[in-house]
Structure 1
Amino acid sequence: MRTASAQMALCLSLWVLSLPVRATEPAPVGSTLKASPVIGTTSDGVEYGIWPSIPKQAAPTLIVLAGDIEGTLGKPYFRQCGNRLAEQGWVCVSLDLPAHGKQVGSGPAGLSGWRTRVERGENIVAHSNARLKQLLDHLVRTGVTDPERIAVCGTSRGGFLALHFAAHEPRVRCVAAFAPVVDLAALSEFRGVEEQPLVKQLSVASSAHQLVDRAVWMVIGDRDERVGTDHSIALARAVSAAAREADRPSRLELHLLSEPRGHTTPAGSAELAADWMQRQLPIATPVVAPAEPASVVKPASVRQLLLVDDHHVLYRAGTRRLFHPATPHPDNPLIGEERPWEMAIGWTSVVHRPERTEAPYQLWYQAYAGGRDDRKTHKCMVCYAESRDGVHFTRPELELHDFNNQREPDPGLHKRTNIVLIGDGGYGDRYANSVLYEPDVVPARRFKMLYTDFGKSDDGREWPGVFAAFSPDGLRWTKSDHNPLLKTAYGGRGLQPPYADESPYSERWDARKGFLRKTWALPLSMSDAIDVMFDPRRGKYVAYGKSWLQGPAGGLAWKHGMARIESDDFLHWTSPEIVATPDDADPPDTEFHTSPVFFHKGCYFCLNQILRARGEAIGAKADAMQIELMISRDGLRWERPFRDQLFIDAASQPFSNGGVFTNATPVVLEDELRFYYGGYNSGAIGGGARLTDPSQQSGVGMATLPLDRFAGLRTEPLSAQSTLKRPLEHTGQITLKPLSLEGVREIEVNATTETEDGELRVELLDAAGLRVRGFGSEDAIPLRGDSLRHKAKWRGRDLTELPAGRYHLRLHLRHAEVFAVELR
């Protein structure tokens, strides 16, 4: 298993290339692409170039910095990264650097101009960052750039500004710098002013902490006296030190070249950097190893526009967003407590594989048996069932793990069970079971599971942690030799975090209960529940789960928040990052029990388990644990627009009226989404189940939602603002952000009308907001009734007649509600 020190290690690679060094510009890769850039200007007056052309839809974007626009995008030497990426659908953009091109002004040009400006007290970095931000805002707003896939690169002085912009702008996910200037004091042009405060302030090393969360790729010759090889090494060390201080892995790679000497880079380095960028920012349907799990909702084209939030909306009027909960199935629970080992059925995972015609639904669920079997390994297990229709499940009788029941009913040894995974028998219980299925990987690893348990770490001591298991068929599981993959906290409520030179482990004899009480006091760690997904945007496994927050006096184990970790290989995981916590609008006893996430049509959804532990301090059971739908567009920044509106109502059915346990594996069918979950009729804290009470119930339930109808925009009953000539009843419009309709033959609208005279019309506006003749609201054929796929039409006109360009869709509603738009 990788140690923390190995994760934090500075990546210094002595990279020797056998390719010849070229004194002239190399032949361009992708030389058939257009040679000259398209020039544009933002509304703020920032001139920029874009190459090879304006994309038809939001595209991954590389900002290239070297000098002036024409010299950067017009010359293959500076555009080498872009040549390779353009063949994969990327666009390259650039602007004039300070004191270059049209930014020279009245002073000297180039680096001499930089010195003149710095001596006058001008912050050239702040000026560059401001212009680059204005450019980026413009590209995102106009639909040119995918805001989730932005990279920047630069050569020499361009690398200096690229590194600074990456540190300044959170939307930049990765940066490549070729023989970069890192410290202006190393340049001959700044000789004599090296000690000026502004020169020191502009060193890239001053932004080391901001670069910790960026993927950084640098290359430089080991004898580059022009910009100073030692300065690049010092920057790498500064970023590594900042990462250690933040307890995060360093993502900076520095490649030192033994040849060529001097201030240059060898042929081939730009192509290697381009390939690295593609790994950091995979395109919408990434080709990655391993393949995208079938149990994850498939990534959608950016042309599928969910209106669950205003991400795709430019503005709207006369409408209000209405939340729609999922509907529990009337046959719930689909799996109940029927076998001796099935008590307190909680965590679940579902994989839907249509190719398994006899039983396409595969279900894993946790069964907490308490002390019915004397073996500690059999206290909390994972069971398996399967179904043809997703409603009626059968339990196979397997001979993988027996169960020796010591209590009524049905005592004795049961050799044939549906138990597929047991615990390690450590200090605490094995817990949770989050499963992914991947059809195209090594057969023995087609099924992957994350869970929590106790086991020996590489230091020889028992630790609680995150564990993994793999299976070829979902039945026969092999636990990873790397377990625990990540250490977690256990116990220690109210204790202060240990000092850095203290062990987080402690033990004491509990005389009242008569056992040795052990504590692992790890702040900012995952806790005992976790759900994993494959993130198609990042090409990584991402797991979300609960993490203990510290209390008002700094004591450990106060309440849970939502934390996130990620991995390239399912074995080596990043340190946890807390991404959401209860806030001032929540009652003080609110916590996030755990927070499973799935990705669907460009949006991240979280079925957040809201636990309000009223009376916990005096030993009373918690209130019912309810489900709140949270949304995010990047998986990091979370919004709670439907706070206190129940997505799945735990109290609506007896088996789940104590709590609902959601997962990250919804099933997406042609016309509906299915959400499977575990339910208790008792509280969720400490297992919650009254194991000796005959009224105890738990089981697996399912709730459904019409496709994409999480929330809709519905017309307001009355719009009566003073700016209206007259009040308007049940009338509204939604204007979407501009997008290209090139290649679009059909627009489908997921919508419903509420009355006989209700209707929806689709109108087109050009990029300037002007109506397009033949596609106005009066030309649109009204859409009526309830359909997931209304087809927009205009009298005598067709979308293929539209000239190239960007258009706004405007949806006119009367007594109507709209949920999503799809461009086909």
Structure 2
Amino acid sequence: MAECFSRRGFLGTTGRGAAALAATRLWESNACGANEASSFQVESGVRQLFLDDVGIEQIDRLRRVVNKPTRHAENPLLSPDTHWERGCQVYGTAYYDEAAGLFKLWYLTGPKDRGLKPLELDGYERAPHTTMAAYAKSKDGVHWVKPKLGILPYDGDKQNNLLGIGKHNCEGISVLHEPHDPDPARRWKAVYWDHGSGGWEVRNGGPFCKAGPEDGWHASFSPDGIHWKKYTNNPVIPKYCDTNQNVLYDPRIKKYVGFSRFGFGRRLARSESDDFMHWSEPQLVLQCDEADGPATQIYGAGVDLYEGVYLAMIWIYRAGGDGKIDTQLATSRDGIHWTRVGDRATWLELGDEDSWEGGMARSVERIITRGGQLYIYYCGVHGAHTGPKIKNVVRKHPVQIGLLNQRRDGFVSLDAGDEEGTLTTKPFKLPRRKLFLNTDATDGKVSVAVLDRSGKQLAKSRVITGDELSARAMSPGGLAKVGDTVRLKFVARNAKIYSYWFEA
């Protein structure tokens, strides 16, 4: 267990809190033995981030920092400006379609100012406050168009951007594009929570949806992401799945993986499927604990695979505190065992108190990479969530959608100060001969050496200064042979190290 001990030493020397230490020890009890049995692997072309301690053997005088994203100057980018939108909510999916050259956004909305007047949508009567899926597109990710799709009649008018997905209340639509599916009609897949199949009634002067036999996690298929056909045996998971849904395909286990509440309340649960139609019994995988504060809960999450690692942007709801919701990060190698990133530091903070995002700031799923930048969409809510301590809230702004930008791989960095810091990786088989770094050494320097099993230096890189997203650190002639077992040793001063990777 020597390598596990080294990681605990790292946590202590970098000043991370007792709660994080306890959480990491818990994680080690589940996963560390397995990690020792199977060696650390570095695949060609896959970037190695520092979200967790997997792959780290020894570290000294480097500090893990959660880096805040940058809000776009034109935020909010998507606002409710039609009579069928009371808000624009990212219980949905953002995606960049390479073939079409378009950013695409599936988001949640609902009727505006209907009182108790129901809607007739697609042949069914829906509650006046029903939730509906909508679609928008953009060429640059900033300026959005709500196309007139001609699909779902809103008070008899189909000239809107509403999608015909969901029969009662389509909530939390998650869209997955698989352009190489042999069935063209299934190249776009979606899951969502449909609920209220028991009809609706008036309670306490307002509309209320009643549970029914068709409530649960539903699946639909589409040839284009716009025209959807529901799976005939819905619901695929008959569970209560309030707020956001997430679905992705994990190529390592060759399964679809879904995340939602799945009846566990404000926690994160997981299910998997071979065919998108038959899903496993959900399993609870992540929840808050005492270290998060009284009655703190995971309200929802945007989950994606980033460089082969699960990354969850978890919405932290402080029900026992100020009732507000901001976003932290969690990571996992298998989607089951999770590590809270950076001592539970807040990644997406709230906006100003009276702003459109002063009460809640929640990220959508799908992390979009364009060049050296990440595009991540989120919604803002004015005012806290009502709950045990917050009984009434007057919202001055509608729910709206904005854009976050972050340096590629920039969620977390290992930072060195005036004193030189070092990091040594676990041993791994050299996948390729060209080593690249993503680092900012504008005010300092970074170098890296290749070591053999015994720790003997085989080669050393040039000294990197400046801010480089893709710094070619080492020439092919200076490296060991592909397939050899090596370690890397990084040396840094007044610099940030974001990631490293190998290419042919």
TM range (shorter): 0.7 to 0.9
| SS class of match (2:141) | coil
Q: Which position in structure 2 is the counterpart of 1:328? A: 71
Q: Greater RCO between the two (CA within 8 Å, min separation 6)?
A: 2
CA deviations 1:273-315 (Å, max 9, x no partner) are xxxxxxxxxxx9xxxxxxxxxxxxxxx7475311222212111
TM-score (norm 2): 0.81
**Residue 133 (structure 2) pairs with residue 365 (structure 1):** no
Contact 1:624/1:651 (8 A) holds in 2:
no
Take 2:61 and 2:395, find their aligned partners in 1: how far apart are those partners?
Answer: 54
Q: Which position in structure 2 is the counterpart of 1:394? A: 145
Percent of pairs identical after alignment? Answer: 27
Which moved further from structure 2: 649-658 or 334-343? 649-658
Q: Write the letter of the residue equivalent to 1:433.
A: I
Take 1:823 and 1:734, find their aligned partners in 2: how far apart are those partners?
Answer: 18
CA deviations 1:111-159 (Å, max 9, x no partner) are xxxxxxxxxxxxxxxxxxxxxx999776524x5xx6xxxxxxxxxxxxx
Q: Which position in structure 2 is the counterpart of 1:810? A: 489
Take 2:492 and 2:246, find their aligned partners in 1: how far apart are those partners?
Answer: 39
1:592 is matched with which residue: 291, 298, 302? 298
How many residue pairs get aligned? The number is 447
**Residue 453 (structure 2) pairs with residue 767 (structure 1):** yes
Cα deviation, residue 532, structure 1: 1.2
CA deviations 1:715-769 (Å, max 9, x no partner) are 2x4xxxxxxxxxxx42011111222336x231111111142xx211111211111
Take 1:748 and 1:311, find their aligned partners in 2: how far apart are those partners?
Answer: 19
| SS class of match (2:348) | coil
Residues 175-214 of structure 1 mapped to structure 2, 5 A cutoff = none
**Residue 338 (structure 2) pairs with residue 641 (structure 1):** no
Which moved further from structure 2: 646-655 or 575-584? 646-655
Report the CA distance shift for 1:611/1:575 in structure 2 as closer, same or farther (over 3 A): same
Cα deviation, residue 369, structure 1: 2.0
Residues 188-587 of structure 1 mapped to structure 2, 5 A cutoff = 301=44, 304-346=47-89, 347-357=91-101, 360-369=102-111, 372=114, 374-375=118-119, 376-377=125-126, 379-404=130-155, 414-421=157-164, 423-425=166-168, 429-441=169-181, 442-454=183-195, 462-489=213-240, 526-527=241-242, 529-549=244-264, 560-587=266-293
Q: Write the letter of the residue equivalent to 1:469.
A: S
Take 1:783 and 1:815, find their aligned partners in 2: how far apart are those partners?
Answer: 12
Take 1:803 and 1:599, find their aligned partners in 2: how far apart are those partners?
Answer: 27
Take 1:302 and 1:791, find their aligned partners in 2: how far apart are those partners?
Answer: 13
* Rg comparison, structure with higher value: 1
Which moved further from structure 2: 385-394 or 441-450? 441-450
2:426 is matched with which residue: 737, 740, 753? 737
Contact 1:545/1:596 (8 A) holds in 2:
no
CA deviations 1:174-204 (Å, max 9, x no partner) are xxxxxxxxxxxxxxxxxxxxxxxxxxxxxxx
Take 1:699 and 1:534, find their aligned partners in 2: how far apart are those partners?
Answer: 29
Q: Write the letter of the residue equivalent to 1:750.
A: N
Report the CA distance shift for 1:422/1:657 in structure 2 as closer, same or farther (over 3 A): farther
Take 1:604 and 1:536, find their aligned partners in 2: how far apart are those partners?
Answer: 12
Which moved further from structure 2: 321-330 or 447-456? 447-456
TM-score (norm 1): 0.51
Take 1:451 and 1:569, find their aligned partners in 2: how far apart are those partners?
Answer: 16
Cα deviation, residue 677, structure 1: 1.9
Report the CA distance shift for 1:475/1:801 in structure 2 as closer, same or farther (over 3 A): closer
Q: Write the letter of the residue equivalent to 1:586.
A: D
CA deviations 1:684-738 (Å, max 9, x no partner) are 559xxx9x978332212110110101111112x4xxxxxxxxxxx4201111122
Take 2:248 and 2:77, find their aligned partners in 1: how far apart are those partners?
Answer: 24
Contact 1:561/1:593 (8 A) holds in 2:
yes
Take 1:137 and 1:530, find their aligned partners in 2: how far apart are those partners?
Answer: 30
| SS class of match (1:305) | coil
CA deviations 1:97-118 (Å, max 9, x no partner) are xxxxxxxxxxxxxxxxxxxxxx
Report the CA distance shift for 1:801/1:140 in structure 2 as closer, same or farther (over 3 A): closer
Q: Which position in structure 1 is the counterpart of 2:332? A: 632
Which moved further from structure 2: 436-445 or 382-391? 436-445
Cα deviation, residue 465, structure 1: 0.6
Q: Write the letter of the residue equivalent to 1:310.
A: D
Q: Write the letter of the residue equivalent to 1:305.
A: Q
Take 1:649 and 1:135, find their aligned partners in 2: how far apart are those partners?
Answer: 36
Take 1:393 and 1:584, find their aligned partners in 2: how far apart are those partners?
Answer: 42
Contact 2:357/2:382 (8 A) holds in 1:
yes
Q: Which position in structure 2 is the counterpart of 1:820? A: 499
Q: Which position in structure 1 is the counterpart of 2:370? A: 669
Take 2:394 and 2:66, find their aligned partners in 1: how far apart are those partners?
Answer: 37
| SS class of match (1:642) | helix
Q: Which position in structure 2 is the counterpart of 1:705? A: 406
**Residue 439 (structure 2) pairs with residue 781 (structure 1):** no
CA deviations 1:385-410 (Å, max 9, x no partner) are 11111111111112211223xxxxxx
Q: Write the letter of the residue equivalent to 1:787.
A: E
Contact 1:766/1:808 (8 A) holds in 2:
yes
Report the CA distance shift for 1:699/1:313 in structure 2 as closer, same or farther (over 3 A): same
Contact 1:750/1:790 (8 A) holds in 2:
yes
Cα deviation, residue 642, structure 1: 2.9
Report the CA distance shift for 1:330/1:818 in structure 2 as closer, same or farther (over 3 A): same
Contact 1:760/1:811 (8 A) holds in 2:
yes
Take 2:189 and 2:379, find their aligned partners in 1: how far apart are those partners?
Answer: 20
| SS class of match (1:415) | coil
Q: Which position in structure 2 is the counterpart of 1:514? A: none
CA deviations 1:392-450 (Å, max 9, x no partner) are 1111112211223xxxxxxxx5431111135424xxx4321111111122121221111
Contact 1:740/1:804 (8 A) holds in 2:
yes
Contact 1:380/1:422 (8 A) holds in 2:
no
Task: Identify, as 1 or 2, the structure richer in helix.
Answer: 1
Cα deviation, residue 348, structure 1: 2.5
Report the CA distance shift for 1:471/1:455 in structure 2 as closer, same or farther (over 3 A): farther
| SS class of match (2:195) | strand
Cα deviation, residue 800, structure 1: 5.4
Q: Which position in structure 2 is the counterpart of 1:553? A: none
Cα deviation, residue 543, structure 1: 1.0
Q: Write the letter of the residue equivalent to 1:752.
A: D
Cα deviation, residue 644, structure 1: 4.6
Cα deviation, residue 364, structure 1: 0.8
* Unmatched tracts of structure 1, length 5 or more: 1-42, 44-132, 147-283, 285-299, 405-412, 490-525, 550-558, 616-621, 718-728
Q: Write the letter of the residue equivalent to 2:351.
A: A
Contact 1:532/1:596 (8 A) holds in 2:
no
Report the CA distance shift for 1:464/1:746 in structure 2 as closer, same or farther (over 3 A): same
Take 1:447 and 1:802, find their aligned partners in 2: how far apart are those partners?
Answer: 42
Q: Which position in structure 1 is the counterpart of 2:382? A: 681
Report the CA distance shift for 1:319/1:330 in structure 2 as closer, same or farther (over 3 A): same
Q: Write the letter of the residue equivalent to 2:329.
A: L
Take 1:684 and 1:668, find their aligned partners in 2: how far apart are those partners?
Answer: 32
Report the CA distance shift for 1:624/1:782 in structure 2 as closer, same or farther (over 3 A): same
Residues 47-196 of structure 1 mapped to structure 2, 5 A cutoff = 140-141=38-39, 143=40
Task: Identify, as 1 or 2, the structure richer in strand.
Answer: 2
Q: Write the letter of the residue equivalent to 1:435.
A: V
CA deviations 1:48-72 (Å, max 9, x no partner) are xxxxxxxxxxxxxxxxxxxxxxxxx
